[in-house]
Amino acid sequence: MMVKEFFVSLLHYFVDITTAVLIAAAIFLTATGQQMNSVILWEILLSGFITALPSAVLLCFDTKSVRLSLILWGIHFLVIFGATLLMLKAFGWCSITPLSVLLTFLAVVCIYLFTCSVHYLVDKKHASVMNQQLKKRYSNAEQDK
Amino acid sequence: MRIIIESPQAGDEDVVIVRCASPDQRLISMLLSYQTANTELTGYMDDKIVRLNYQDVYYFESNENRVFAYYRSDVYEVKYKLYELEELFAPMDFVRCSKSMIVNMEKIDYLSPLFSGKLEAHLKNGEKVVISRQYVHSLKVKLGIEEVE
């Protein structure tokens, strides 16, 4: 159950992050007028997978304390930010300068918010279906009484 | 279906035998519910020892190797392990919502999503409990939204 949950989360995060990175890349390439090499598509897929991995791992922690949850989310963000910087350098997308680090930080924040928002909206839809079922189930139970 | 009620031999305990070609899930759930309804659940609060009605329990929570039953406003310690309560109340409307908690679905007013990917159950007494992502599936199964794997 836990293993399945991990792989389902990994797949969801991979799709969401890759979509967000593609949008960011499209905006960047359009704005700068640069031509895209086909290899960048594989690099985007790989970066999506690498950054989805810590997100799926994070969901395996069932923490009770709010403080610990916030610490874990903070570590998670730093891991993703660090991994993104390393990939930028490894893929040669840009050189590491204070400006590129700042822009990467902003991009990671945007992708982070995009992914969280997508998950939140999906969860909201699921919660609404569950609320309907709860209502149906317990209005029936009250009628039976 | 024929219903036969026989008196047991003197000294024998009461036994319910279901003889059928394929087990009817509803009938089994009903029998398990009956068995659970007769389960003695004793709560301890300070010097008081109280017979608890499981239908009034909002949730069970384990904390530092002790398990507590939360009523609307009172809290009683119970001498069961959380996994024992989970097995015992599985046929009823109780569902595991985190490593340390089992919630009574009947006491959930509504559910709302959290930004962390978890769900929050707003209980009828105004309390909120968090449903971990890995237990959302079992809640959906109980609600008949998803199938048992």
Higher pLDDT, B35 or A133: A133
Provide the ipTM. 0.72
> Is the CB of residue B114 less than 8 Å from the CB of residue A70?
no
Written as one string, the DSSP assignment of B97-124 is EETTEEEEGGGEEEEEE-TTS-EEEEET
Written as one string, the DSSP assignment of chain B is ------PPPTTPPP------SS--HHHHHHHHHHHHHT---EEEETTEEEE--GGG--EEEEETTEEEEE-SS-EEEESS-HHHHHHHHTTTTEEEEETTEEEEGGGEEEEEE-TTS-EEEEETTS-EEEE-HHHHHHHHHHTTSS---
- Alpha-carbon gap, residue B31 to B10, rounded angstroms: 24
If pLDDT is split at 50, 70 and 90, which confidence band does B70 have?
Answer: very high
B15: phi then psi, degrees, rounded to nearest 5: -130, 140
Higher pLDDT, A63 or B76: B76
Q: Which amino acid is at B27?
A: L
The pLDDT tens digits of the residues spanning A27-75 come to 888 888 877 778 888 888 998 899 888 888 877 777 767 788 888 888 8
Tokens of B76: 């009683």
Note whether A62 contacts B132, CB cutoff 8 Å. yes
The answer to whether residue A102 scores a pLDDT higher than 80 is yes
Domains of chain B: 25-142 (2.40.50.1020)
The answer to whether residue B40 scores a pLDDT higher than 80 is no
The answer to whether residue B108 scores a pLDDT higher than 90 is yes
The answer to whether residue A144 scores a pLDDT higher than 60 is no
Strand order in the sheet with B119-123: B108-113, B119-123, B128-131
Tokens of A37: 């090499």
CB atoms within 10 A of CB A85: 16
Lowest mean pLDDT among A5-14, A53-62, A115-124, A128-137: A53-62
> Is the CB of residue A6 less than 8 Å from the CB of residue A96?
no
- The mean pLDDT value for B120-125 works out to 93
Residue of B nearest to A140 (CA): B106
The pLDDT tens digits of the residues spanning B5-34 come to 888 888 888 888 888 887 776 677 777 767
> Is the CB of residue A62 less than 8 Å from the CB of residue B134?
yes
pLDDT at A132: 92
Higher pLDDT, B131 or A36: B131
pLDDT at A145: 54
Using CB atoms, pick whichever of B98, B111, B133 lies closest to residue A59. Answer: B133
If pLDDT is split at 50, 70 and 90, which confidence band does B78 have?
Answer: very high
Radius of gyration of chain A (CA): 20
Phi-psi region of B56 (alpha: psi -120 to 50; beta: other; left: phi over 0): alpha
pLDDT at B111: 94
Check: pTM over 0.90? Answer yes or no.
no
Selected for mutation to probe chain A from B99, B116, B130 (highest A CB count within 10 Å) is B116
On the CB side of B142, how many CA atoms lie within 13 Å of its CA?
Answer: 22
- Alpha-carbon gap, residue B37 to A122, rounded angstroms: 37
Terminal CA-to-CA distance of chain A, rounded, Å? 37
Closest CA to B121 of A106, A111, A134, A17: A134
Using CB atoms, pick whichever of B113, B114, B134 lies closest to residue A5. Answer: B134
Q: Domain coordinates of chain A in residue numbers?
A: 2-144
Note whether A62 contacts B99, CB cutoff 8 Å. yes
> Is the CB of residue B139 less than 8 Å from the CB of residue B95?
yes
Residue of A nearest to B140 (CA): A130
**Nearest-CA distance from B7 to chain A in Å?**
32
Using CB atoms, pick whichever of B100, B117, B143 lies closest to residue A119. Answer: B117
Residue of B nearest to A133 (CA): B143
Which residues from B are below 8 Å from A127, CB to CB?
Answer: 111-113, 119
pLDDT at A2: 67
- The mean pLDDT value for A110-128 works out to 87
The neighbouring-strand residues paired with B130 are B120
